[in-house]
Chains A and B, each alone.
Chain A
Amino acid sequence: MEMSFPIDIFVIIDLILISMLLVVGIAIVRLNNLFVIVMLYGVYSLLAATWFVSLDAVDVAFTEAAVGAGISTVLMLGAMLLTSRESKPTTPIRRWTSLLIVLVTGIALIYATFDMPAFGDPNSPANSYVGLMYLKATITDISVPNVVTAILASYRGFDTFGEVVVVLTAGLGVMLILGIDSRRSRSGEVENKDAIAKEANTKNKPEKINALNHHIVLQVVAKMLIPIIILYALYVHFHGDYGPGGGFQAGVIFASAIILYSLIFGMDQTRRAIPPKLVQFGSALGVLIYGGTGIITILMGGKFLDYNMLDQNDTIHAQHMGILMIEVGVLVTVASVMLSIYYGFAGRYRQLKDQNW
């Protein structure tokens, strides 16, 4: 090991971020208020994203910030509102037993790290063969600056197809469990007792206190922000070849713009703007675009997702075209699935009032 790691500014930044992560993690362990826990989980994700930037993983940091600190926090808040605000404290026996299990596992894992390559070692097995090969080959094969996009969309396009199908499947799962359009329960059979109770409570207030539509400032600010967020999502999408970003991040950002709209203006209005049917259709359409690109390359005489077939005179152009097409598929599916999941949760909670917070 010829390293004498200089204690430079980056190491100090790393240490600060890591200690903040540890503090937040331990706070989550000790607290019982679910609202605080969920908010701290968002903070934790944001800190993790910052650390990813410091570790050179800009694309991952982007995704973690959009997904972990954005969408997951919204979903967890939604689930918390639908369930309970407090978790019961654990019994001492259970606490000590789990501490023992965790300590033993942790020590075993730490013992295993003694054989691991040193942090930042350029000659470690992970960094010297396949990763380096992709970096070098991207220059001549695909010629896009962002190697992460090149691998994601072209070299490992088949894997990414699998991931998109998994996202669609998870979306379908949520739709099956919660239902995407809860209007049915409004017209006839009400599914749960809570809803009946809520109905009784709100009967004497005929006008819908939906969302936060009496907050004028929020409404005006949101109206200005939403187009900018959507524009940014499109920028992230189409700039994914050149900088951090791509279909996954853009899809999540697009969905969060719609979620912001529905938080401010209410679910009914959002349902009118983007009907649940459209969201369902979009979830499948994205996968169809992705898979269809693969079928087109088969029809043109190549293998599945062999973009070179799209333009045989200029394979680099063909690669760019293929990447763009499948990224559109990823964008459509991810955005629609995130929205359908949100619709599922939000449809259960019909009226969100200030005092609920």
Chain B
Amino acid sequence: MDFFVGHFNYWVIITLMMTGLYVVISTGNLVKKLVGIGLFQTSVFQLYISLSKVRGAQPPILEKLPKYGSAEKTSQTVTELTATIPQVTALDPASVYDPLMGVVYSNPLPHVLILTAIVVGVATLAVGLALVVRIREAYGTIEEDAIDEAEYKIEVNAS
């Protein structure tokens, strides 16, 4: 049971990923193919984000922060903090000193990677769609086999 609850997210994500892959392989329609790529892409995002989840944690937005603003208090708190963190402890999960003050946060690093990947994803999707639009203008169809036929005709006529 523990194993199932600990791994079901991967299995679901792989199922979704394969759904996307199936759409890409099985259909000859270029717009539907791009939708399939979108499904595949989203499932990769889900894989990364589910890796960053920490049980019982909260989103990586810090709750307690030394107040920034009024001069001496800030500098004091900051120097205090920097003085008490030896350089190594940041890398050592078992270190005694905890600047997070006991609050557990999910891992922010995959969030950053995926956030930018989503925006880049839509930009590249737009390039794909633009190509599909041009293909339609040139061949009058967006079905793979019909495009192949049209290409073949052009080649036969040329030779």
Please report the C-alpha to C-alpha distance between residue A151 and residue B111 in the assembled complex, in whole angstroms: 10
Shortest CB–CB separation between residue A202 and chain B, in angstroms? 19
Please report the C-alpha to C-alpha distance between residue A192 and residue B127 in the assembled complex, in whole angstroms: 20
A90 and B123 within 8 A (CB) = no
Smallest CB gap from B55: residue in A: A120
Which of B54, B55, B61, B78 is close to A145, meaning CB atoms less than 8 Å apart?
B61
Q: Point out the residues of chain A lying under 8 angstroms from B39, CB to CB.
A: 25, 28, 41, 44
Which A224-274 residues have a C-beta within 8 angstroms of B?
A: 242-244, 246, 248, 252
In the assembled complex, A12 has its CB within 8 A of some CB on chain B: no
The contact string, 1 if C-beta is below 8 Å from chain B, for chain A 1-34, is 1011101000100100010011001101100001
Which A25-49 residues have a C-beta within 8 angstroms of B?
A: 25-26, 28-29, 34, 37-38, 41, 44-45, 48
A41 and B38 within 8 A (CB) = yes
Please report the C-alpha to C-alpha distance between residue A81 and residue B8 in the assembled complex, in whole angstroms: 39
A106-B61 contact in complex given A34-B31, A60-B45, A98-B22, C-beta closer than 8 Å: no
Which of A80, A94, A132, A244 is close to B31, meaning CB atoms less than 8 Å apart?
A80
Which of B10, B17, B35, B142 is close to A76, meaning CB atoms less than 8 Å apart?
B35
Which B135-152 residues have a C-beta within 8 angstroms of A?
A: 136-137, 141-143
Question: For this complex, into which size category does the number of interface residues on chain B fall?
Answer: 35 or more
Shortest CB–CB separation between residue A6 and chain B, in angstroms? 9
Chain A contact residue count (CB 8 A cutoff): 120
A56 and B58 within 8 A (CB) = yes
A119-B9 contact in complex given A25-B16, A48-B42, A147-B105, C-beta closer than 8 Å: yes
B125 and A316 within 8 A (CB) = no
In the assembled complex, B82 has its CB within 8 A of some CB on chain A: yes
Shortest CB–CB separation between residue B133 and chain A, in angstroms? 5
A344 and B118 within 8 A (CB) = no
A22 and B15 within 8 A (CB) = yes
A127 and B54 within 8 A (CB) = yes
A170 and B127 within 8 A (CB) = yes
Shortest CB–CB separation between residue A63 and chain B, in angstroms? 5
B119 and A119 within 8 A (CB) = no
Shortest CB–CB separation between residue B80 and chain A, in angstroms? 10
In the assembled complex, A216 has its CB within 8 A of some CB on chain B: no
Q: Point out the residues of chain A lying under 8 angstroms from B28, CB to CB.
A: 87-88, 90
Shortest CB–CB separation between residue A322 and chain B, in angstroms? 15
Q: A-B pairs with CB below 8 Å: how many? A: 346
A148-B136 contact in complex given A28-B39, A177-B130, A252-B119, C-beta closer than 8 Å: no
A79 and B53 within 8 A (CB) = no
B111 and A348 within 8 A (CB) = no
Please report the C-alpha to C-alpha distance between residue A51 and residue B9 in the assembled complex, in whole angstroms: 11
Q: Pick the interface stretch among A152-160, A286-294, A295-303.
A: A152-160
Please report the C-alpha to C-alpha distance between residue A223 and residue B18 in the assembled complex, in whole angstroms: 43
Q: Point out the residues of chain B lying under 8 angstroms from A242, CB to CB.
A: 61
A102-B22 contact in complex given A76-B35, A178-B130, C-beta closer than 8 Å: yes
Smallest CB gap from B126: residue in A: A341
Please report the C-alpha to C-alpha distance between residue A233 and residue B31 in the assembled complex, in whole angstroms: 30
**Can you give 30 A-B contacts (C-beta < 8 A)?**
A28-B23, A52-B46, A56-B54, A79-B129, A83-B142, A84-B29, A88-B143, A101-B25, A106-B15, A109-B14, A110-B11, A113-B7, A113-B10, A120-B53, A121-B55, A133-B90, A139-B66, A143-B78, A147-B105, A148-B112, A151-B108, A170-B120, A170-B126, A170-B127, A242-B61, A252-B119, A316-B74, A338-B122, A341-B130, A345-B126
Q: Which residues of B contact A (CB under 8 A)?
A: 2-3, 5-12, 14-23, 25-32, 34-36, 38-39, 42, 45-46, 49-63, 65-66, 68, 74, 78, 81-82, 85, 90-91, 93, 99-100, 104-112, 114-116, 118-127, 129-134, 136-137, 141-143
